[in-house]
Amino acid sequence: MEEISVREARREDVEEAANLVVRMKRLNNEFDPLFTVVDDAPARARSYLSTSLESKSSLVLVAVKGKSVVGVLRAEVRERTFYKPTIGGNITDFYILPEHRRKALGNTMLERASKTLRKLGAQVVTAEFPARNEIAVKFYSKRRFRALTNIYAESTE
């Protein structure tokens, strides 16, 4: 059985990683219609990840099995202007193909991300995801994350 490795993403990973980001965004739509995915999401995801690879304040990790990307995690370091700790690492996107879940891969990716974000200056690590994603709530809660903010929305259309 092929082993899965976790590493920083490379340019050649962008296409497959972007497909996973789009899958995650489409999954988000199942939680709330305000997460309806735009038609050009694949192109936007490729651009988003390519830009992230070039940024010193972003991190993109991939989980690779053989030559296939089976998981992606994107995070960024942000200044917390009014709060201590003043620098935060924020996980903005995290998706693992369903057939590779519940095998400690999520833990491995999260630990690797946290360690790398600390090296980039983060003093606290946060994660953002749809409020109704109970799977994500349970995943992060088991790992000692706790809710810090709520964002409420009302459509103006």
Q: Read off the CATH number of the domain in which 68 is found.
A: 3.40.630.30
Give percent of the chain above pLDDT 70: 99
Q: Is residue 150 part of a domain?
A: no
Average pLDDT over residues 120-139: 95
The closest alpha carbon to 90, from 64, 69, 121, belongs to 121
Number of domains in the chain: 1
Confidence band for 2, pLDDT divided at 50, 70 and 90: confident
What interhelical angle do 41-54 and 14-31 show, nearest 10?
A: 120
Confidence band for 1, pLDDT divided at 50, 70 and 90: low
Range of the domain at 86: 4-142
What pLDDT does 141 receive? Answer: 96
The closest alpha carbon to 26, from 101, 130, 128, belongs to 130
Give kind and range of the element (H or E) at residue 134. Answer: helix 134-142
Lowest-confidence pick of 8-17, 47-56, 93-102, 147-156: 147-156
d(CA 145, CA 38): 30
Q: Is residue 8 part of a domain?
A: yes
d(CA 30, CA 124): 29
Q: Is residue 117 part of a domain?
A: yes
pLDDT higher than 80, residue 31: yes
pLDDT higher than 90, residue 157: no
pTM: 0.94
Strands (E) across the chain are located at 4-8, 58-65, 68-79, 87-96, 124-127
Q: Is residue 70 part of a domain?
A: yes
